[in-house]
Structure 1
Amino acid sequence: MKKYTQKIIVILILFIAAYSCSTKKDTVINRNFHAITTKFNVLFNGQEAFNKGIEEINTGYKDDWFNRLPIEPIVFEEDKIVLESFNSNPGAGFGAASGEEKKELTTFERAEEKAVKAIQKHGMNIDGTEHNRQIDNAYLLLGKSRYYTQRFIPAIDALNYVIANYPQADLIAETKIWRAKANTRIDNEETAIEAMKLLLIVRDSLEADLPDKIKEQAHTALAMAYVKSDSMQNAKKHLQLATRTLKNRAQGARNLFILGQIYSDENKKDSAFSVFNKLANFKKAPYKYKIHANIELAKNFSKDSLSNTLLERMQKLIKNRDNRPYLDELYYQTGVLHQNNDSIKLALNNYNNSLRAKNGSDKQKTFTYEKLGDLYFKDSEYQYASAYYDSVLQVSKDSVDIRIRRIKRKYRNLSSLIKFEKIVTTNDSIVKIASLSKDEQKQYFENYIEKLKKTDEDAAQLRLNQMAFGNSGPGLQSGKKGSWYFYNNQSMSFGKTEFQKIWGNRRLEDNWRWSEKATIGSKATKDSVQVNTVNLRYDLNSYLSTIPYKTATIDSLKIDRNQALYELGLIYKEQFKNQNLAKSRLERLATLNPKKELILPINWHLYQIYNSLGDAEKSEMHKNLILKEYPDTKFAQIILNPNEIVTEEVALNKVEKEYKKMYYLYKEGKFEEAVLKIDAFITTIPNANLTPKFELLKAYAIGKYKGKEAYKIALEFVAVSYGNTEEGKKAKEIILQIEK
């Protein structure tokens, strides 16, 4: 009898369970069974997958702190908007296409799959009414998951289904916020703004009932929409409203940082400083926002009295071991503060520390290299400046950035200067050594080789010491770090190679360093360094053999050096406006017996330089030399008529028309007429951009009907007066061809 009763109970339990599994019966048991199963089984797993996906985004996303941050830390592909791929039930979009290959799902796709399963298996839509109170949560999870897989239109479809069918749901406000964000992503920001205004502004009575967390999300969504529509004033307003309560610590900190960046871009330093200060003191904010808020404080202070306080704060942050991942940025900003205080040595030290910081970002290095380049450029150390600008271009991977393009132009402008400075330095050295006697040349290179040996020996010893203490550097460390030198086979092998490179195969005996000690396997009595002729760095004859002895070769070196000095004078004078350096190069050139053709332009440029420097005595000296030795030149005419005033500006289009007329005269062979018209017209436009073209055309015309000498003089005037223009360079090329 007892056994019979147990069977009845089991059958009854199975019957009740089967009855409650039905989604077509609206009973208390059915509703509660499916609600509990949905919430604590399917949706729980779906939400866990969704949360994991959010964590992956936050971990994997790398913020560019040098540009304004996006409000959401995620990158979507601009042209990738996926249409709905399911077509079974409204809003959900279930049922994968048949024949589609099964692949591993992403975290958000897994969350979407669980949401779809909850709706399909546990939905209780009876006579148009949903009786499972967890289904609206499933649709919201479905919409959010689709949003993060960049399927915005299907996401909006799922979210609209909630809004249309569950208007009284407790998550209706959150659903509308997500729909507004999805609309913003597909460029429907006006729709998003209108929806959020209805939620927050029009329905004043509802706003009071909204939780602070929801208000923050709504204002953040509005700020996103206004940023997308380039309405920054409205974006600022809603970022301010979104950061009143800071319930969501991560998004709240991000909103504060972006708000500070907007104020900084508008040059509202006080407002930016206030916002970043609030973020720096926000204890629960993620640390990356707090540390960068401190860096931004150093960029946005407006009172000089705060400089020392900020420097102290930056030093404390640098000393904090937790800030090692940010050392490159901290050192850089400390350097900027010192530079603003005119403490250039301290600034240089911090910039170099920034470059040496481990794990420093390439983008930060571009800013640091640029600062160093600018400092050396300002100090007229153009070769160092060029090297640092080159480092920016080597490190940077962004060829579109306006800042990088500007640095590239600077570097190109310096390239000619570096080339000519190198010619001057190299040729000076060769000419100087060539002028020495044979014994002096030999002594010079012997001293040089000794210094070279000492330097190499010290470097090798330092390397061996480093390895002996376990610091072998990249690619040489093996075994445990800090292991003894003789236990490290790789270090031993390297040490042996370095020893033989310097000393050769010495016997193991006393006084092995003495030069008369023979090397193993050799009867030579010379020092091993001298015996090892393979290393040309230490071979005296290899240096002596390169010294030029022919007069023609040495004269050619001098001519190239003199031409380089002249070019440097022009570059410093006209391109970099550094009159002192231009003066030093041209004055030195004047003492080196330059070519006859360079004497007039040297004196002309020195006359102009001393005039600009206010040295009337030296200016007068060069002026008198030009008037006395070259009275018939254009330069003399300009000196004699310095106050010729242009009474009327000529429009550029008129100048171009006149140039065409004179060019046609030249093409028709009317050379004298072309020259007369150019002379008559050019005096009315001395500052026009086309003046060099007129002068070069005039020189061409002179060359056609006057002699070679007159042609050359006309070209020299163009080359000297407009040396940095295309016409000036062309004139120089023609002069060189004539002289060959």
Structure 2
Amino acid sequence: MSTSSLTQRVGGWLVTLLSLGAAGCASDKSLVSHTINNVAARDNGYFLAREKLQATEVLLYKGRVNDYNRRLPLFPTLDSTTVRATRADLNDIIKKASLPIQHRPGSDWTDDAYLLVGWSRFYKMEFDDAVLTFKYVNSTSKDPFAKQEALIGLMRSFLVLKQPDNAKAVSDLLDREIGLRKDARELFLTRTEYFLQTDEPKRAIEQLERAIPLIPAKNERSRTRFILAQLYQEQGQDKEATVQLNEILKRNPPYELDFFAKLMLGQVTDLSDKNKARLDKYYAGLLKDLKNKEYRDKVYYEMARLAYRQQRYSDALTLLRTSAKATTTNRSQKGYTYLLAGRIYYENLQKYRLAAAYYDSTTQALPKDNPTYAAIQERADILKEFAKQYTIIETQDSLQALVKLPAAELDQRLNQYALAEIEAKRKAAAAALAAQKAQQQRQQAQAQGAPGVPSALSGNQRDISNPNTFDPTNAVASGALWYFDNPTALGTARTDFIRKWGDRGLRDNWRIVN
């Protein structure tokens, strides 16, 4: 081999080695640069935004309104109040999450940052923007877990927008995903909400049963079990509901959940003599416990429901009266109390005027976002008109019956009415005097700094346990021929009204105005 040839070959090797070395350095530089981008994106923007979003979600979930007379919500209820309370934090989350998107676009955290933006827009009720963001992540991300979370966010958005067909399309798309779902819990909960919206409770139960074992937080898991028990009860599956409630009670839940789970057991427990005695003892213990002072109206209401299950309608109405008079901070409970009284008068006792009165009160007290509110309002309107026509017919029938009486019997009947009117005035005057004395005693007690605490059974309240209360046909027999011609009765009623409601002006919805 010549010297020149050897030199050429060595030179070639050196060029090759240098080229490989340069390429290796470039690759190392690219790898190092990508790693730096990832760390900077994660630590500078994404991490801070994620922590704040998690804290915001904790507040939103804690803020769920727990009305135990209806099915508890799975997810936070979003409205103008929640948006006002969280807008500043959500805007800050979007700002922080936008940093890696704008300044580190090639990092592995870009799609995760977009997810934070999407959820922030969702909680701000900017659902159209949230939909666009989740769609973008699903179409551009290479991370299967990010795509799954984006699809779940998309499904949640469609459910809030009341677009069940779109929500189902997303759910079907998730079914085609291969591999273990990182967000299986959220998927099952979201599908539960979908099936509840589409009125498929049995399928909702299936999804909720799959979700519960995946919920890590003990108290949230117990709360979700309570929702499952409610669904079972709605389907008439009392044994399955009982199993879920007992599971809750075994795990030492928060006091409120423990309290209402035990109350609900009274509605799903088999009514054997042994269980009846146990429930009666349990309710008595609840009423004696001072910790339950704010729940007394609910306890009496549940006792009324138990009596209603046993077809003891008079007892149920007595307990409902006591529930309505119990003073608590739960204003909506009176709506459910009036509703059950109205149902008893309408469906079981056929006292339509009384039913009309209680359904009217129900529409004033029941939250208007209740799913059954529209149906209740419709029945209230129908009963009001029916009671009006029924009274006209009944009055005409009574007058025609009087006209047909012989003169002597007619005189005798009129004398009975006159005597009854005199007796009614005497009783009204006595009641007015008693009310005046009671008012004076209360004023004296307050002046001495010892205000009385009224019992749930005290007060000059009308007894709704008597099916004839407020019945105009019986008012004639008792002498109250025309209520507004009786100044004593009017005076008594005004005194009772002021004592209970205060000196209010005449206005719409006066019963629910502070």
TM-score (norm 2): 0.62
1:327 counterpart residue number = 296
Determine if contact 2:363/2:373 at 8 Å carries over to the other structure. Answer: no
The verdict on how the C-alpha distance between 1:179 and 1:71 changes in structure 2, with shifts beyond 3 A counting, is: same
Letter in 2 for 1:143: G
- Give the 3 Å change call, closer, same or farther, for CA 450–323 of structure 1 in structure 2: closer
1:262 paired residue number:
231
Q: Deviations over 1:492-530 (max 9, x none)?
A: xxxxxxxxxxxxxxxxxxxxxxxxxxxxxxxxxxxxxxx
Partner residue of 2:114? 139
Residue 265 of structure 2 is aligned to residue 297 of structure 1 = yes
Alpha-carbon distance in 2 for matches of 1:139, 1:382: 59
Superposed displacement of residue 336, structure 1 = 1.9
C-alpha distance after superposition, 1:646-678 (max 9, x if no partner): xxxxxxxxxxxxxxxxxxxxxxxxxxxxxxxxx
Q: Which of 92, 98, 104 is the aligned partner of 1:124?
A: 104
Structure number with bigger Rg: 1
Q: Determine if contact 2:53/2:120 at 8 Å carries over to the other structure.
A: no
Q: State the SS of the aligned residue for 2:446.
A: coil
Residue 182 of structure 1 is matched in structure 2 by 157
Q: Which residue of 1 aligns with 2:130?
A: 155
Q: What are the Cα deviations for residues 333-363 of structure 1, in whole angstroms up to 9, with x where unaligned? A: 2112124345555433321121012246565
State which of 37, 46, 52 in structure 2 corresponds to 1:48.
52
Q: CA deviation at 1:292?
A: 3.7
Distance change >3 Å, CA 195–CA 293, structure 1 → 2: farther
- CA deviations 1:276-335 (Å, max 9, x no partner) are 333344434x55544443343333334535333334334434444444444333211211
For the residues of structure 2 that align with 1:72 and 1:393, how far apart are their CA atoms? 26
- In structure 2, which of residues 314, 320, 329 is the aligned counterpart of residue 351 of structure 1? 320
Q: Distance in 2 between matches of 1:448 and 1:331?
A: 32
Query: In structure 2, what residue type is equivalent to 1:409?
Result: I
Report the CA distance shift for 1:56/1:176 in structure 2 as closer, same or farther (over 3 A): closer
1:405 to 350, 363, 378: 378
Distance 1:373 1:58, change over 3 A: same
Aligned partner (choices 221, 224, 237) of residue 193 of structure 2: 224
Say which structure is richer in helix.
2
Structure 2 CA distance for aligned equivalents of residues 407 and 119 of structure 1: 56
**Partners of 1:287 and 1:196 in 2: CA distance:** 38
- For 2:379, the aligned partner's letter is R
Tell me what 1:310 maps to: 279
Determine whether 1:340 maps to 2:344: no
Q: For 1:165 and 1:178, locate their aligned partners in 2 and report how far apart those are by CA, in whole Å.
A: 15
CA distance in 2, matches of 1:387, 1:170: 56
For structure 2, the residue ranges without an aligned partner over 5 or more in a row are: 1-29, 81-85, 404-409, 452-485, 490-514
**CA distances 1:536-555 after superposition (whole Å, capped 9, x unpaired):** 869xxxxxxxxxxxxxxxxx
C-alpha change, 1:236 and 1:391, in structure 2 (3 Å) is: closer
Task: Considering Cα pairs closer than 8 Å and 6+ residues apart, tell me whether 1 or 2 has the greater RCO.
Answer: 2
Cα distance between partner residues in 1 of 2:360 and 2:197:
36
Deviation at 1:466, TM superposition (A): 0.9
Q: 2 CA distance for matches of 1:342 and 1:221? A: 39
Of 428, 438, 441, which residue of structure 2 is paired with 1:462? 438
CA contact (8 A) 1:35 1:134 kept: yes
One-letter code of the match for 2:230? Q
Give SS of 1:469's match: helix
Judge conservation of contact 2:287–2:299 (CA < 8 Å) in 1.
yes
Q: Which amino acid aligns with 1:113?
A: K
Change (3 A) 1:246 1:383: same
Contact 2:193 2:204 in 1 (8 A): yes
Distance in 1 (alpha carbons) for counterparts of 2:231 and 2:191: 16
Find the counterpart in structure 2 of residue 191 from structure 1.
169
Q: Secondary structure at the match of 1:244?
A: helix
Which of 180-189 and 143-152 deviates more?
180-189
Taking the aligned partners of 2:151 and 2:438, their CA distance within structure 1 comes to: 68
- Per-residue CA distance 1:403-447 (angstroms, 9 max, x = gap): 44335434544445545777869x99x9679869xxx99xx97x9
CA, structure 1 residues 162+269, in 2 after alignment: closer, same or farther (shift >3 Å)?
same
Quote how far apart the aligned CAs of 1:112 are. 1.9
2:18 match: none
Identity %: 19
Amino acid at match of 2:91: E
Counterpart residue number, 2:459: none
Counterpart contact for 2:155–2:171, Cα < 8 Å? yes
Asked if 1:74 corresponds to 2:77, the answer is: yes
Could you tell me which of 233, 240, 247 is aligned with 1:278?
247
| Greater mean alpha carbon deviation, residues 343-352 or residues 329-338 | 343-352
CA distance in 1, matches of 2:330, 2:317: 19
Contact 2:53 2:90 (8 Å CA) reproduced:
yes
Do the aligned partners of residues 154 and 376 (structure 1) sit closer, same or farther apart at CA in structure 2, a change above 3 Å counting?
A: closer
- Residue of structure 1 equivalent to 2:480: none
1:116 shift after superposition: 1.9
Shift of 1:134: 4.8
CA separation of 1:49 and 1:469: change in aligned 2, threshold 3 A? farther
Q: What amino acid does structure 2 have at the position aligned with 1:71? A: L
Q: Indicate the residue corresponding to 2:45 in structure 1.
A: 38
- CA shift, 1:240, in A, is 0.6
* Corresponding residue number in structure 2 for 1:26: 33
Alpha-carbon distance in structure 2 between the residues aligned to 1:151 and 1:401: 28
Give the deviation of 1:239 after TM superposition: 0.9
Distance 1:53-1:402 versus aligned 2 partners, 3 A rule = same
Change (3 A) 1:198 1:309: farther
Provide the rounded CA distance (Å) in 2 between the counterparts of 1:385 and 1:265: 24
Q: Which ranges in structure 1 are unaligned for 5 or more consecutive residues?
A: 1-22, 78-103, 472-479, 484-534, 539-740
Verify the 8 A CA contact 1:318 1:324 in the aligned structure 2: yes
Report if aligned partners of 1:382, 1:414 keep a CA contact under 8 Å in 2. yes
Residues 147 and 243 of structure 1: CA distance in aligned 2, closer, same or farther (over 3 Å): same
Contact 1:338 1:346 in 2 (8 A): yes
Contact 1:189 1:228 in 2 (8 A): no
Deviations 1:222-245 (A, max 9, x none): 333444455544332221110124
Alpha-carbon displacement from aligned partner over 1:582-618 (angstroms, at most 9, x marks no partner): xxxxxxxxxxxxxxxxxxxxxxxxxxxxxxxxxxxxx
* 166 and 320 in structure 1: CA distance in 2 versus 1, 3 angstrom threshold: farther
Q: CA deviation at 1:73?
A: 3.0
Shift of the 434–264 alpha-carbon distance from structure 1 to 2, 3 Å rule, reads closer
| Distance of aligned partners of 1:309 and 1:246 in 2 relative to their CA distance in 1, 3 Å threshold | farther
